[in-house]
Amino acid sequence: MKARAFWTSAPGRGEIREETLAARGEDEVVVRALFSGVSRGTESLVFHGRVPRAEYERMRAPFQAGSFPAPVKYGYSSVGVVEDGPRTLLNRRVFALYPHQTHYCVPASAVHRVPDEVPSERAVLAANLETAINGVWDAQPSVGDHVVVIGGGVVGCLVAWLVGRIPGTDVTLIDVRQERGHVAERLGVAFAIPDFAPTDADVVVHASGSPIGLQLALRLAAFEATVLELSWYGDWSVALPLGEAFHARRLTLRSSQVGHVAPPQRPRWSHRRRMALALNLLKAPALDVLISGESPFDELPALMPTLAAGDGDVLCHRIRYS
């Protein structure tokens, strides 16, 4: 079977390449893609060739082809239909951590059933929601906490939505874009621009991808509060004000990364169980507000430079396959 896939052919340039799928093995499935999602944070860094050399192996996507910086086939948010495989999966809708490609063959264990109540169009958010779930586990907000989430991208919005469902929590989403206010409203949380951000937060989650946002996070945290860093900066160096009141307020700065299940859940939770939770949570129609646009697959090479530039009011951009 022939397939077509999006490749970053050189930093800042993409193209669609044709490839031939290998014959399906006994424990494999052939999936026809319906939709995929562009994860703007990580995929932008990959597209611009900004993965640090020391992170080449750790940053590999599960079904990546090629090598950093390029040419590389990268992505991890594909929703499709199983066209060939075990009877229990045949004709079922599935999610896979696969790049942008029309058809692909993967182990049956690598696909996850999409619940009947979750539209295929919304299921492209599964990978981002899995990251947000892991971040909330790492941040450990409690009932009644005042929580600030800095950065109204997809992951930041999903973190705010998740924490806002904890009874008694007071959650504020912070973003420089005033238009993110309507997104926060749909997600049931408060909104503020940085100049009006609430202080003395019990937990601060930073997901803006900007060093300025992380500096703001340190200023907003209350005494002995936790600041959780969800942004990944690639090859950037980030300067932080670790003088001032950082020590006097006994702040904790913690990183979070989806590659490992967060320590509090690790003894009982597998990656597969965590993904099943993410897909089940996608039953919420309010999350459709995080899909900011859709384009056909053939337009992705021309579209990716705009998406990777980070301009405009783009959240999750969905790719449609015919």
> What confidence tens digit (pLDDT) does each residue in 151-201 have?
999 999 999 999 999 999 999 999 999 999 999 999 999 999 999 999 999
What SS3 class is residue 7? strand
- Please report whether residue 90 resides in a domain: yes
Based on the domain organization, do 119 and 160 belong to the same domain? no
pLDDT at 92: 98
Same domain, 11 and 92: yes
Same domain, 161 and 71: no
Rounded-to-integer distance, Cα 204 and Cα 146, Å: 9
Residues 286 and 225 in one domain: no
State the average pLDDT over residues 46-75: 95
Give ∠ CA 113-122-317 in degrees, rounded to 5: 125
For residues 217 and 139, the answer to whether their CB atoms sit within 8 Å is no
The candidate with the shortest Cα–Cα distance to 127, out of 228, 254, 41, 5, is 41
pLDDT at 40: 82
What are 80's strand-pairing partners? 33, 94
Place of tokens 């450990």: 140
Domain stop point among 205, 240, 255? 255
Q: In the chain, pLDDT over 70 holds for what percent of residues? A: 99
State the DSSP code for 101.
B
Q: Report phi then psi at 321, rounded to 5.
A: -110, 140
Give the pLDDT mean for 61-88. Answer: 97
Burial class (CB in 10 A: 0-12, 13-18, 19+), 217: buried
Mean pLDDT rounded to a whole number for the chain: 96
Q: What is the CATH number of the domain that holds 161?
A: 3.40.50.720
Residues 117 and 138 in one domain: no
| 158 and 75, same domain (yes or no) | no
149 pairs with which residues across the strands?
173, 205
Is residue 143 domain-shared with residue 206, that is, in the same domain?
yes
In this prediction, residue 314 carries a pLDDT of: 86
d(CA 52, CA 257): 16
Q: Is the pLDDT of residue 234 over 90?
A: no
Query: What pLDDT is stored for residue 239 in this prediction?
Result: 87
Q: How confident is the model at residue 110 (pLDDT cuts 50, 70, 90)?
A: very high
Rounded to 5 degrees, φ, ψ at 166 are -80, 125
Q: Provide the number of structural domains found in the chain.
A: 2
The answer to the question of residue 163 being in a domain is yes
Q: Please state, in angstroms and rounded to a whole number, the distance separating the CA atoms of residues 293 and 238.
A: 31
What dihedral angle (degrees, nearest 10) is formed by the CA atoms of 253, 242, 231, 257?
-30
Q: Residues 260-273: pLDDT tens digits? A: 999 999 999 999 99
pLDDT exceeds cutoff 70 at 111: yes
What is the domain extent for residue 298?
A: 2-125+282-320
The pTM is what? 0.95
Same domain, residue pair 179 and 107: no
Residue 42 pLDDT? 87
Range 26-30 average pLDDT: 96
Cα separations in angstroms, 142 against 120, 147, 199, 223, 231 = 33, 9, 18, 16, 22
Please tell me whether residues 296 and 207 are part of one structural domain: no
Question: Is 157 part of a structural domain of the chain?
Answer: yes
Please enumerate in sequence order all residues whose Cβ is within 8 A of that of 164, keeping only pairs 6 or more positions apart, or say none: 171, 187, 188, 189
pLDDT higher than threshold 80 for residue 311: no
pLDDT at 312: 65
Read off the pLDDT band of 5 (50, 70, 90).
very high
Domain with 59 in it: what CATH number? 3.90.180.10
Residue 308 counted as domain residue: yes
Residue 32: phi and psi, rounded to 5, are -100, 120
**Domain's final residue, options 215, 239, 255:** 255
When pLDDT is averaged across residues 111-118 and rounded to a whole number, the result is: 98
